[in-house]
A and B are shown apart, each in its own frame.
Chain A
Amino acid sequence: MASLILDDIVIEQDQRPLLSLDTTVAPGDVVTVMGPSGVGKSTLLAFIAGFLSPAFTPRGRILLGETRLDTLPAEQRHVGLLFQDPLLFPHLDVEGNLAFGMVREGSRRQRRERIHEALTSVGLEAFAKRDPATLSGGQKARVALLRVLLSQPRAILLDEPFSKLDAERRDEIRHWVFERVRHYRLPTLMVTHDEADARAAGGRTITLGDTP
């Protein structure tokens, strides 16, 4: 796996700088981005993922190893994105959601087996045909991450992914997610307001909006 390199990034809004950042996230590292509301944390993730609104003007380069990402359309960046809401597609069952995310390799039977393995690995093998709406918050979060992982991303972005989980479930899911991204050696950038998220991530913390 390659590092995610944010090379001299500056994002402007109305010709005024909103944020600037220059950092590298190594494979398996989880870097936390914190800062007050409106400082541009989610805007940074939108820029990396390829969804930056035209209202913002970005400068700098985003690299994944040798590949320059910021010139590619979103779907070609191979950057997995997890939001506050798991956003499981309501018209598909759990298996359908995972099949949607999975890279199209091998026969249909092989793909189905891989989905079954993935669900088994998180103890959700009995939930393949379930309507996503009937899952608990923690189960939804797992399926959402599995969907991202099956798409074989080369980096992961987490946009306050645990903020809507029950307090009792949050710790468990948090550790599970971080364990997975480390296992797959994915460079991971997480935006959060919760310092507990940053502590659990165990990596560096960048605070945007800090006065130098």
Chain B
Amino acid sequence: MSRATSYRFTIGVLPWLTIALLSLPVVSGVLGAMAPAFGYLPVLGGDSLTLAPWRQLLEVPGLVDMARLSFVTGLASAALSLGLVVLFLGSFLHTALYRRIQRWLSPLLAVPHAAAAIGLAFLLAPSGWVARGLSPWATGWQYPPDFAFPGDPWGLSLILGLVIKEVPFLLLMSLAALVQCQAHERLKVARSLGYRPLTAFLKVAMPGLYPLLRLPIYAVIAFATSTVDVAMILGPSTPSTLAVSVVGWLNDPSLSMRFMASAGAMLQMLLTLAALLTWWLLERLVALVSQSWWRDGRRQCGERWLGGMALTAMRLVLGLMVAGLAGLALWSVAGYWPFPHFLPWPPTAHNWQAAADDLVAPVWQSLSVAFAATLLSVVLVLGSLEAETLKQRPLRPWAQVVLYLPLLVPPVAFLFGLVMMQAQFGIRPGMAAVIAGHAVFVLPYVFLSLAESYRRLDPRWSQQARSLGAGPWRVFLRVRLPLLLAPILTAAAVGFAVSIGQYLPTVLMGAGRVATVTTEAVSLASGGDRRLTAIFALAQLLLPALGFLLAMLVPRYLFRRRQGLLPRAD
């Protein structure tokens, strides 16, 4: 096989492997969960189809409350996050504040959900930093008050925890989309026609931006309605959200509970579908109502008030995230820290010394899984993007849906089905299964992070190299990859961070045999040892930070004498 043929073959195969990795686990996982939901799982003695698991599920006390909690918190957090992002972009795009926040987006996105949730829980708890800061001078509290927050029955703390992670994600997704829909040019026209910035954004940029944000928003809704780790840390427990309950039933020592857990996983999928359908109907309604507003000629709509609100809310969201993480750092070095003292004094390294031995194995397993899942994802994504370049054809709409598939189907539904299939086919749970499970979630993020830079690379670089006699492999390895090294490493760092933060795939695919810093942090969060929890949450935070640091430093070092390849400050 000639080099050119081997290149075409490899590049031709990798997109199909990518599609297979993304779609097969999801589709087979959903089917795998569906059969036991109707009583069919021969390995556990279920040989016939029956509705008994559904009847058992419907008899669970508080089922309606669980479903309502998941539905409401999911939709509310998505609506609040989108509203905040839109108002902030509309009011502050092209300002120095926006550029500052833009620089912090990737690090904020790299904070694992569980670490952010634990930080928020420590911040808002009755004995948390906020209560300490206000006590006793403002509240009069000498002892921690007795209220359930986080863990309030309405799910407010859960909504808050989801919003602080979803806002950076939607902002990051908006960056590329704004360029793609020519929002900046549209805004110039509207501003030159006398429209105030926010009104201009809502009337001319949003109609172009929203269709590009639709899939990320659907992914946010799917995640928020079915999250397990964040809901375990911040959500109520009596009853908990549906996804948390399903995982509880799955882990029940009685194997017969697995039939009901399957039915629960199916119900979770229907619930997420219902939330997506509700959102879709709301979209239609808003589009219908907006038609006359777009053309009514009004140049402003409460700019100052809405802009002020967006600024306050954005500061609150980012402030809560940063303060929560700072609180984790304090708890990790806290000795005796009585309420209402604001700071633990004197700080001690004892907690870290005591936890060092417990940290080694989870850190090592986290690194191994994240490295393998990221490497696999980067290779597949590079192949897919190179194939796109070769065919000079952008991703087709159906392929884009496949890309988002693992983010749109509740993980608890399809991962659960995969576990059932593992059991049915006698596959041993362990490291390989966990790596594959992580890769399903890592791959879409690596693709989304890298695609824009890859597509924007000037084709004349390759044309020049080809005209100098370089074959396709040489062009790819010696020209395109070095030119794209910085964005490739950044995408790898994003993938690495996503893998480090995975809870459910590790727990379900590893069946308890693989313990990562995230699984340990989440299980510790429900216990009483805040110091140890803080240490694991910080470890969870530091590993992705290390990835981003390397992604930043390696190109700078390799290209330190190549000004044209150094990252530009724009």
Q: Point out residues on A near B: beta carbons under 8 Å.
A: 49-51, 54, 73-81, 83, 85, 87, 89-92, 95-96, 99-104, 108, 111, 147-148, 151, 153
Contact = CB atoms under 8 A, between A and B. Distances in A.
Given A49-B192, A81-B192, A102-B297, 12 more contacts: A50-B192, A73-B196, A75-B194, A81-B188, A89-B207, A90-B208, A99-B297, A100-B297, A103-B194, A104-B298, A108-B296, A111-B297
Nearest to B188: A51
19 contacts: A49-B192, A51-B191, A75-B193, A75-B195, A75-B196, A87-B182, A89-B186, A91-B294, A95-B295, A96-B294, A100-B190, A100-B295, A103-B194, A104-B297, A104-B298, A148-B193, A151-B192, A151-B194, A153-B192
A51 B93 CA distance: 12
B542 to A, nearest CB: 34
B185 A83 contact: yes
In the A-B complex, list the 6 residue pairs whose CB atoms are closest, starting with the nearest.
A91-B207, A104-B297, A99-B295, A74-B191, A81-B192, A151-B193
A92 B192 contact: no
Contact of B96 (A54, A95, A111): A54
Chain B CB count within 10 A is highest, among A80, A111, A151, for A151
Contact of A49 (B182, B188, B200, B208): B188
Contacts of B196: 73, 75
B-side interface size class: 20 to 34
Contacts of A95: 295
A76 B186 contact: no
A86 to B, nearest CB: 9
Nearest to B95: A54
B299 interface: yes
Nearest to A156: B192
B203 interface: yes
B80 interface: no
A85 B185 contact: yes
Residue of B185, B190, B298 most packed against chain A (CB within 10 A): B190
Interface string B171-206: 000000000001001101111111111001001100
Contact of B208 (A74, A75, A91, A100): A91
Contacts, number: 81
Given A87-B189, A100-B204, A92 B194 contact: no
B361 to A, nearest CB: 50
Nearest to B184: A51
A153 B193 CA distance: 8
A189 B195 CA distance: 22
Most chain A Cβ neighbours within 10 Å, of B188, B197, B295: B295
Interface in B197-241: 197, 200, 203-204, 207-208
Contacts of B299: 75, 104
Nearest to B295: A99
Contacts of A100: 190, 193, 203-204, 294-295, 297
A92 B189 contact: no
A74 B295 contact: no
Contacts of B297: 99-100, 102-104, 111
Contacts of A104: 296-299
Q: Which of A75, A111, A147 has the most CB of B within 10 A?
A: A75
Contacts of B295: 92, 95-96, 99-100
Interface string B263-302: 0000000000000000000000000000000111111000
- Most chain-B CB neighbours within 10 Å: which of A73, A74, A80, A85? A74
Interface in B471-526: none
Contacts of A85: 185
A86 B226 CA distance: 45
A96 B292 CA distance: 9
A53 to B, nearest CB: 9
B191 A87 contact: no
A89 B196 CA distance: 17
Nearest to B182: A87
A87 B207 contact: no
A92 B294 contact: yes
B188 A78 contact: no
Given A81-B189, A96-B294, A102-B297, A89 B194 contact: no
A81 to B, nearest CB: 4
B298 A74 contact: no
A75 B294 contact: no
A87 B204 CA distance: 11
A13 to B, nearest CB: 14
Contacts of A90: 208
Max chain B CB contacts within 10 Å: which of A89, A102, A108, A151? A89
A209 to B, nearest CB: 25
A108 B298 CA distance: 12
Given A89-B207, A92-B294, A104-B297, A80 B96 contact: no
A22 B237 CA distance: 72
Nearest to A115: B295
A73 B299 CA distance: 13
A148 B192 CA distance: 8
**Most chain A beta-carbon neighbours within 10 Å: one of B182, B197, B204:** B204
A92 B189 CA distance: 14
A128 to B, nearest CB: 12
